[in-house]
Structure 1
Amino acid sequence: MSIVSIEPATAERWDDLENLFGPTGAYGHCWCTFFRRRAKDHTASTSCERSMRGVDNKEELRRLTLDGKVPGLLAYDEEGPCGWVSVAPRDDFIRLARSRSLRPADPTEPGVWALVCFWLPPRRRRRGLGSRLLDGAVEYARAGGARVLEAYPVDTVGGRAPSAEVYTGTVEMFQRAGFTLSGHHLSERVVARLELKTE
């Protein structure tokens, strides 16, 4: 199947997002709120607590769409929603500002957007859909007035990593898309940045 369109995840498309993520909320009840919340608001120690936290995470993501925010983009093919990418102004992602391994060198730098997550159903993986979503995220950030798009990919040189470990994308994917890669100023993480030319 080929992608028909990539659309903002608005409140009107909530049912599509909910169906795409399924009952477990994509990655273990996360509902793509991991970077939008402080650690203590997102973690839980028991399976029951994780399940309840998943409900909270889902409601948090739903609330964002009802408040008129766009937490990410949905890809569609002929069968319906088939992929997700979370992209928004960097300030929307509270955890980035507090993270020891991803904290921005200049948190006041204007016009920076961040791409923090991809999610594809297992049967859609390894078909180039992630790269198409990345292209859509670049165009969406540019249209939204971003000056820079930043991401935090995983280096998979030396072998494949489980899908749950590469939810931020791979270094190779961002290299192909023209991003500049550098080491984080406080950690061993890779930071990918793309300067966006706006009209």
Structure 2
Amino acid sequence: MNTRSGQAASGSLAVKELSKKTWSDFEAVLGKNGGARGCWCMHWRLSIAEWTEGKGEGNKRAMSRLAQRKPVPGVVVYESNTPVAWCSLGPRSEFPRLERSPLLANIDDEPVCAITCIYVQRKHRGSGLLPAILEAVCEYAASAGYTTAEGYPIEPREGKRAGADTAMTGIASAFLAAGFSEVARPRDDRPIMRRKLSPAG
């Protein structure tokens, strides 16, 4: 990890913090719609009324402002210098809607790096990249000083696929493959998963 430039590499994937320099790559990953329905990854950061009012350009401007401050709102993931995914992460306190969620309520007082969204660029979906993306993101989180990563994936019911809106938090099998363990299950299809992070270097 190069903490000065906010970069990390894990295998064939590299991670860079969202900033003015990487904003165009973030746009390339999320596409013209800003992910699902004009979200621009503000779902967990705003109330539903604020999110709906800002849908599209308003949410995009809000994320652009976040990209200019610390802690960074997330990272862009690259494969061979091509942006392939976006991951929203940070302290749980940075995600007010997550904090208020009765389903995903905080299970204890342990400080965690909350991984709230993993958005894979459309043409790279179904390629099996999710575990490697999570590995690279955890490497970055460790370098940023976090000791525990926490995710809120969906575990699709048998015979069903997760829809775009529910899959944004990731798929449970990918978290397991990346070394996460289940620590709670508030609903049969929604585990809360954690992974201890090794200090960088």
TM-score w.r.t. structure 1 length? 0.84
After TM superposition, what 4+ stretches of structure 1 lie above 6 angstroms from structure 2? none
Structure with more helix by fraction: 1
Q: Name the counterpart of 2:148.
A: 148
Uncovered stretches (5+) of structure 2, i.e. residues with no partner: 1-10
**Shift in CA distance, 66/161, structure 1 to aligned 2, threshold 3 Å:** same
| Whole-angstrom distance in 2 between the partners of 1:135 and 1:127 | 16
**Shift in CA distance, 184/156, structure 1 to aligned 2, threshold 3 Å:** closer
Uncovered stretches (5+) of structure 1, i.e. residues with no partner: 45-51
**Shift in CA distance, 77/180, structure 1 to aligned 2, threshold 3 Å:** closer
The answer to whether the 8 Å contact 1:7/1:74 transfers is: yes
Match of 1:99 among 84, 101, 105: 101
TM-score w.r.t. structure 2 length? 0.83
State the Cα deviation string for residues 138-197 of structure 1 (Å, max 9, x = none): 111111111211110111251322343211111111111221113345x55310011223
**Shift in CA distance, 4/173, structure 1 to aligned 2, threshold 3 Å:** closer
Residue identity (%): 30
Question: 1:39 Cα deviation (Å)?
Answer: 2.4
The one-letter code of the counterpart of 1:135 is E
State the Cα deviation string for residues 100-145 of structure 1 (Å, max 9, x = none): 1111033xx2531100111112220111222221011111111111
The one-letter code of the counterpart of 2:176 is Q
| Whole-angstrom distance in 1 between the partners of 2:13 and 2:182 | 30
The answer to whether the 8 Å contact 2:14/2:136 transfers is: no
Q: Name the counterpart of 1:49.
A: none
The answer to whether the 8 Å contact 1:83/1:129 transfers is: no
